[in-house]
Amino acid sequence: MPRVPGQIDLAKRQAILDAAGAVLAERGMAASMAEIARRAGVSKQTIYNHFGRKAELVSALSERRTQEMTAPLRTPEATANPEDALAGFAASLLATAVAPNSIAFMRMVIQGAADMPELARALYDAGPRASRGRLADFLAAEHAAGRLNVPDPRQAAEFFGGMALGSYQMAGLLGADRDLGEAQIAAIAREAAVRFLRAYGA
């Protein structure tokens, strides 16, 4: 059965974002839109139609990762079991941060940040800032419901993000591989959630 236009647009959008992530990790912020278009199997004009400028493309790519990372905070069970929600978020955050493709991407971003601050800012705003903001919103809602005692949700979100990431991302960026497996990531995430809730329990 043929796809409707909306489905086609969504498939193209995902293909563009997949290609952008791969090309940016390989070439950095200087990666050409032409190369991204070639890798995605679309025209350059199609990318501009979907995203406008490269900054919007980088922002959309970062936003997609943020949506994936913060998904555990939006499940129906999240408010009933904040420990599981926080552990899920921490595991997703850490797994994303230490993944080889994410490390390669971040290295390229750091190298090009001084020359292309607009792109670096777009990535930061839609990525780390947005993910911490959504965690802060979750904590604020838990505080309002009386399940947690978090008078400053944004500060607490920063604390929790730091607990989850530790020095693991920095080790990856510097090539000092910590070789975290799935079980280790889950254990770190759970411990971070447990200790955070001890500090901020109602």
pLDDT tens readout for residues 82-100: 999 999 999 999 999 998 8
Where are the domains positioned within the chain?
1-52, 59-200
Q: Which residues, other chains included, contact 199 with Cβ-Cβ below 8 Å and sequence gap of 6+?
A: none
Structure tokens that stand for 201 in this block = 């329990």
Q: What is the dihedral of CA 162, 96, 101, 117, to 10 degrees?
A: -50
More confident residue, 105 or 60: 60
Q: Is the pTM of this model over 0.75?
A: yes
Say which CATH architecture domain 1-52 belongs to. Answer: Orthogonal Bundle (1.10)
Angle between helical axes of 82-98 and 153-165 (0-180°, round to 10): 50
Per-residue model confidence as pLDDT tens digits over 24-76: 888 877 788 999 999 999 999 999 988 888 888 888 988 998 999 999 999 88
Angle at 107 between CA 102 and CA 111, to 5 degrees: 145
- CATH superfamily, domain 59-200, is Tetracycline Repressor, domain 2 (1.10.357.10)
pLDDT of 3 higher than 70:
no
Question: How high is the mean pLDDT of the chain?
Answer: 89
